[in-house]
Amino acid sequence: MPTGRSTQLTKQVGEYLVSAELCRRGYISTTFTGNVPDFDILAINDKHKTIPIQVKTINAGSWQFDAAKYIDIGMMKNKTQKVKGKIKLFHPNLVFVLVMLGGQGKDVFYIMRSRDLQNSIFKHYRKYLKAKKGRRPMNPDSTHTAVLPHEIERFKDNWGLIEETFKKKRIRGQPLTLDIR
């Protein structure tokens, strides 16, 4: 079982790897090492526009999430759960980078928006509940979920999303970038 120290090291390694890759791609990047609640990195382009980026890192296995932060889950009286739909995300366009550490030069990056992550969680949590007839076997009240690499394969090395995000001024009325001039 990972210790708090090893978990913190994994988190920091992931953030620094993403930050370094952003720098290789021509962006200034700064990490906040867990001190900002909604993002871990700010990327800054040559026009001084910034985008926040959330990073989640694992050594192996799957990324862990609370499904209730992404989908509306009804708790029934018979201790079953039902997915009612997706919740309205506060930042549906927030860029997420899910990192799987693999050793020097073997790390894998999955780059998506939070709404893409939400769609994956929605699809797979519903499928899981259907297979279990709505009842979670270990803890019926749990809304824990895991995202496996093969479920998000289409976002692997999707670094173009960063440039796309800088080019767009806003989506659905929400600003994507900040002008820090």
Q: Where are the domains of the chain?
A: 4-179
Instruction: Give residue 173's pLDDT band: very low, low, confident or very high (50, 70, 90).
Output: very low
Q: What is the dotted CATH code of the domain comprising 4-179?
A: 3.40.1350.10
Reported as type and span, the H/E element at residue 31 is: strand 28-31
The DSSP H or E segment spanning 12 is helix 4-24
Q: What is the 3-state secondary structure (H, E, C) of 68-117?
A: HHCEEEEECCCCCEEEEEECCCCCCCCEEEEEECCCCCCCEEEEEEHHHH
pTM of the model: 0.89
On the question of pLDDT at 112 being above 50, the answer is yes
pLDDT (mean) for 13-26? 97
Calculate mean pLDDT across residues 159-167.
Answer: 95
Q: What does pLDDT average to over the chain?
A: 91
